[in-house]
Amino acid sequence: MKAGIIGLGAMGVGMARNIAKAGFLTAVYNRTTAKAQAFAEELSVTVYDQIEALAAEVDVVLLCVSADSDVLAVVRAVAQTINPGSIVVDMSTVSSETAKVAAAILAEKQVEFIDAPVSGGVEGAKNGTLSMMVGGDLGALEKVRPILQTMSSQIIYMGSTGTGQATKAVNQVMCAGINQAVTEALAFAQAQDLPMEKVIGAVSGGAAGNWFLQYRGNTMTKDVFTPGFKLALHYKDLKICQAIANKVGIPMPLVTMTIADYERLMEAGYGDEDISALYRLKHKI
């Protein structure tokens, strides 16, 4: 099975390295070609400067790009040249509707599409320990499973197209709550002049311990907000969650509050910082 990946951003680059290490990766594309060239030299894979050219050469196209419109633009380009019987795997976080539109575009070319968003951060992408939630045809998942296993410590099949993304939306609501809780609690500790590394160590080992505290606690409290996970991307996810909540008729005050906080931060120019930049709004100046 020959695999190609589109999108060598914070997540894509770690994913691509793990697929390459397992011997599946033959082709890469990145919109900013310089990034792809540096990567291809490191791993001896072919760089394509056109999505259409990459899609014609592989059996499996994987993508990890920013938002819904980006996924659809990539899928439309892939559909121009992809061979019937190939499989497209989208690991970006987008809406279930986008997954369904992508699947319909590719079905016309006799190509299966699976939505396979991930959780586990850039650390998970680098270490091959992502949690992957998959929607689409189970047979297609089984065919590409050996490739997906190079990136993931677990792959959970959720059901029909879009259910992977619906599950990822659940994850993103939880991340908003965790971000609110961790940034607020650490600002509370700092306002009491407690030794922050000790606080983070003590809390991490108990019932309130969590991934975000472990990986972002010591950086945010030193005012370091390098992504990680760009705040503007989580904002995009929470707008998807809010639209679902409106449709199914449940209140989500945590999501509403986090969207408002992120809007303040983005207006102040912090959209490309890690989501832990929420700490900026919490701590005492």
Cβ proximity of 1 and 146 under 8 Å: yes
What would the x/- binding string for ligand NAP be over residues 225 to 264, using CB under 6 A?
---xxx--x-------------------------------
Residue 183: what are its φ and ψ, rounded to 5°?
A: -65, -40
Assess 276 for contact with ligand NAP (CB under 6 A): no
Q: Which listed residue (56, 105, 122, 254) binds ligand NAP by CB under 6 A?
A: 122
Distances (CA, A) of 171 to 42, 154, 168, 197, 222: 33, 15, 5, 27, 27
Cβ proximity of 226 and 219 under 8 Å: yes
Helix-strand-coil split of the chain, %, nearest 5? 55, 15, 30
Q: Which listed residue (5, 27, 40, 74) binds ligand NAP by CB under 6 A?
A: 74
- Closest C-alpha among 82, 103, 105, 92 to residue 3: 82
Assess 270 for contact with ligand NAP (CB under 6 A): no
Q: Which listed residue (3, 11, 88, 200) binds ligand NAP by CB under 6 A?
A: 11
Q: Of the ranges 31-39, 154-162, 179-187, 215-223, which one interacts with ligand NAP (CB under 6 A)?
A: 31-39
Site for ligand NAP in 138-167 (CB under 6 A): none
Cβ proximity of 27 and 11 under 8 Å: no
Site for ligand NAP in 210-229 (CB under 6 A): 228-229
284 catalytic per annotation: no
Active-site residue, selected from the candidate residues 2, 21, 109, 168: 168
Distances (CA, A) of 209 to 147, 189, 202, 229, 281: 32, 15, 9, 20, 22
Assess 15 for contact with ligand NAP (CB under 6 A): no
Q: Which listed residue (47, 64, 89, 189) binds ligand NAP by CB under 6 A?
A: 64
Assess 52 for contact with ligand NAP (CB under 6 A): no
Q: Which is nearer to ligand NAP, 47 or 189 (CB)?
A: 47
Angle at 223 between CA 217 and CA 228, to 5 degrees: 60
Angle at 173 between CA 170 and CA 177, to 5 degrees: 140
Which residue in the shown chain puts its C-beta closest to ligand NAP?
9
Cite the active site residues.
168
Residues that bind ligand NAP in the complex, under the rule CB under 6 A: 7-12, 30-32, 35, 64-66, 70, 73-74, 92-93, 118-119, 121-122, 228-230, 233
